């Protein structure tokens, strides 16, 4: 690939994640998008995977049970001249630090909200991470075929709960059983929900009055009149669309629709892909920036998925390509160790099949078979120049476990496994402040299960774990620390760097502490 071809290839890429609370409709909308991209013949494929009916061949038991598969964690398809990569962010019990880290590997995010429920807790958590990165966020208010909340309320909630401006790109004409269509001011047309003639889905609007052109029965309906009035209100008092703000993640374009009935999804996909950025530059550890069209290959590991086959210890390291071209069998240098690795076995993520990757560029994700070389956050590069990306952030864990080796005679394998899995970023490790008992921290329960499984299967170390439960972790300056501040309700521990932190039982305990010690500064990570 010469430089011009590389530029053209990068320009086509759109890499994003879908964030949502479980049940908002992420799977359904993903499936519709894949259908538009022509990669699945029949809606239901992704869904079947989720419910565990899908025949995933050889993944570790936990993952099989939960129906997670590597092919559903990155999906690639072509749509209208663009090559789209969707990175999955698992919900529920599958939620883990990997979910957050995946958000470090995308250039934009789609936020799916259930229009009957509004913004829910997991959406809020994921949103915070995305917002911090300053990447564009596009919102889909789903389930318009059901009665939901007032559209104006939903838009206002974005600002109130997420502190982001919402700009309606289209507006519902009725909802639930009364749903008639979507009023699209920007494209000056109405999209009908159930058109009498499927070829007449769109009705033109008068650019001056904003009303329907011609003698349309819909004109007289009260839901249409209501939509007109709402749009007028939005024009006068709502946020005005501003592409620069969208690109910086300060404003989110909002689209209404129904993923299940495939209403408004295509309009949404086309519209946000036209605004979502192609891969551009990435920040390096030395503070400089690397362009996506730089001809030297580079990328970073944002997720490690273990373990395909218990007989081998292999796992897959997910690499986000940041520059250059990836080719099968190429040699790369691992920045952390300086070791040169030959990348023979790589997987790209196309539809349902795992296919051997031939060539990939910035924005694409490749899965590298790994026998223990990689850690999360590792940078790899193909040229002579050392390329090291800025460190991935650490996330504040919310769940904690005491952990011990079941067999005290097997301390060695316990410590080795523990050290390697912690280094790899599978879980976070803490110790009680004075007694040095091990405590694991995670953002999701699955991390503990994977840890326990891998300790047994990869390090032959059976561990026992005792839940401490959900806690709020807050770091404290060691100079301000007095061990007497600690109690059952705010357990004192230290992190790997020896920094002290309290694990508060709940918000109440944290507030009580803050009241009692107003001068003590407590901080969270991301
Ligand atoms: P998730 O991945 O975000 O967890 O959500 P998912 O797509 O699985 O959707 C959750 C439920 O909401 C599913 O119903 C799905 O059919 C439904 N749903 C998704 N989009 C829409 C929509 O636009 N309108 C309506 N009315 N429902 C929608 P379920 O009963 O849990 O699953 P299923 O067994 O019916 O598939």
pLDDT tens digits, one per residue of 475-515 = 999 999 998 999 889 999 999 999 999 999 999 999 999 99
End-to-end CA distance of the chain: 39
Q: For residues 455 and 214, which has the higher predicted lDDT (pLDDT)? A: 455
Residue 188 backbone zone (phi > 0: left; psi -120 to 50: alpha; other: beta): left
In the prediction, which pLDDT does 71 show? 45
In the prediction, which pLDDT does 349 show? 57
d(CA 28, CA 262): 9
CA of 118 to the centre of ligand 1 (A): 15
- Domains annotated on the chain, with CATH: 15-72+92-169+243-276 (3.40.50.300), 177-240 (no CATH), 282-381 (3.40.50.300), 399-523 (3.30.70.3280)
Q: How many residues does the chain have?
A: 526
Q: How many CB atoms lie within 10 A of CB 115?
A: 26
Q: Whose CA is nearest to atom 26 of ligand 1?
A: 143
**Residue found by looking up tokens 């069209």 in the block:** 293
Q: Which pTM value belongs to this model?
A: 0.89
Nearest to 234 by CA among 171, 160, 164: 171
CA of 46 to the centre of ligand 1 (A): 12
Query: Please, which pLDDT band fits residue 59 given cuts at 50, 70 and 90?
Result: very low
Q: Spell out a b/e string for 260-287, using b for 16 or more CB atoms within 10 Å of the CB, else e.
A: bbbbbbbbbbebbbeebbbbeebebeee
Report cis status (omega within 30 of 0) of the bond before 87: no
Helix 265-275 / helix 26-36 crossing angle, nearest 10 deg:
80
What mean pLDDT is predicted for residues 132-139?
96
Q: Whose CA is nearest to atom 32 of ligand 1?
A: 23
In the prediction, which pLDDT does 350 show? 46
CA of 45 to the centre of ligand 1 (A): 14
Residue 39 has pLDDT above 70, yes or no: no
d(CA 352, CA 350): 6
Q: Which atom of ligand 1 is nearest to the CA of 263?
A: 23
Q: Whose CA is nearest to atom 17 of ligand 1?
A: 25
In the prediction, which pLDDT does 344 show? 77
Q: For residues 47 and 364, which has the higher predicted lDDT (pLDDT)? A: 364
Pairing of strands 330-334, 340-343: antiparallel
Residue 524 has pLDDT above 80, yes or no: yes
Q: Which residues pair with 439 in a beta bridge?
A: 402, 430
Choosing from 122, 143, 258, 260 the residue with most ligand 1 atoms within 8 A of its CB, the one to mutate for a pocket test is 260
């Amino acid at each position: 690939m010469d430089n011009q071809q590389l530029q053209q290839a990068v320009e086509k890429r759109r890499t994003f994640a879908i964030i949502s609370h479980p049940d908002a409709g992420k799977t359904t909308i993903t499936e519709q998008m894949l259908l538009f991209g022509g990669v699945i013949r029949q809606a239901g494929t992704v869904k079947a995977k989720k419910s565990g009916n899908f025949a995933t061949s050889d993944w570790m038991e936990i993952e099989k049970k939960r129906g997670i598969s590597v092919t559903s964690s990155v999906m690639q398809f072509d749509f209208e001249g663009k090559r789209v990569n969707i990175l999955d962010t698992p919900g529920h019990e599958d939620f883990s630090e990997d979910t957050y880290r995946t958000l470090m590997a995308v250039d934009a995010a789609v936020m799916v909200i259930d229009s009957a429920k509004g913004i829910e807790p997991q959406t809020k958590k994921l949103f915070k991470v995305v917002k911090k990165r300053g990447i564009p966020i596009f919102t889909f208010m789903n389930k318009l075929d059901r009665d939901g909340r007032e559209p104006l309320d939903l838009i206002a909630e974005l600002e109130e709960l997420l502190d982001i401006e919402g700009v309606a790109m289209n507006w519902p004409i009725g909802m639930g059983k009364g749903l008639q269509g979507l009023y699209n001011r920007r494209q000056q047309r109405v999209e009908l929900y159930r058109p009498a003639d499927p070829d007449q889905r769109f009705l033109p609007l008068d650019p001056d009055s904003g009303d329907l052109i011609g003698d349309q029965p819909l004109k007289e309906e009260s839901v249409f009149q209501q939509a007109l009035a709402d749009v007028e209100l939005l024009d006068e008092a709502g946020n005005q669309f501003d592409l620069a703000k969208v690109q910086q993640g300060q404003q989110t374009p909002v689209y209404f629709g129904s993923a299940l009935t495939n209403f408004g999804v295509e309009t949404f996909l086309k519209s946000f892909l036209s605004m979502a950025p192609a891969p551009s530059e990435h920040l390096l550890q030395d503070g400089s920036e690397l362009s996506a069209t730089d001809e030297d290959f580079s990328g970073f590991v944002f997720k490690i998925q273990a373990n395909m086959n218990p007989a081998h210890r292999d796992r897959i390291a997910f690499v986000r390509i940041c520059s250059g071209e990836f080719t099968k069998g190429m040699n790369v240098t691992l920045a952390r160790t300086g070791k040169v690795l030959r990348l023979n076995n790589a997987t790209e993520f196309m539809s349902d099949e795992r296919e051997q990757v031939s060539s990939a560029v910035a924005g694409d994700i490749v899965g590298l078979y790994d026998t223990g070389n990689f850690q999360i956050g590792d940078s790899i590069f193909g040229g002579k120049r050392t390329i090291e990306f800025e460190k991935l952030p650490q996330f504040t864990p919310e769940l904690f476990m005491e952990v011990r080796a079941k067999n005290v005679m097997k301390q060695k394998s316990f410590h080795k496994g523990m050290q390697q899995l912690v280094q790899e970023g599978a879980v976070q490790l803490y110790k009680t402040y004075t007694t040095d008992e091990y405590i694991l921290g995670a953002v999701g329960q699955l991390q503990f299960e994977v840890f326990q499984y891998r300790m047994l299967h990869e390090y032959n170390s059976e561990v026992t774990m005792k839940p401490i439960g959900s806690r709020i972790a807050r770091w404290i300056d060691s100079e301000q620390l007095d061990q007497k501040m600690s109690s059952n309700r705010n357990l004192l521990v230290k992190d790997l760097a020896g920094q002290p932190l309290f694990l508060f039982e709940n918000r109440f305990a944290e507030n009580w502490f803050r009241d009692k010690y107003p001068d003590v500064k407590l901080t969270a990570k991301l």
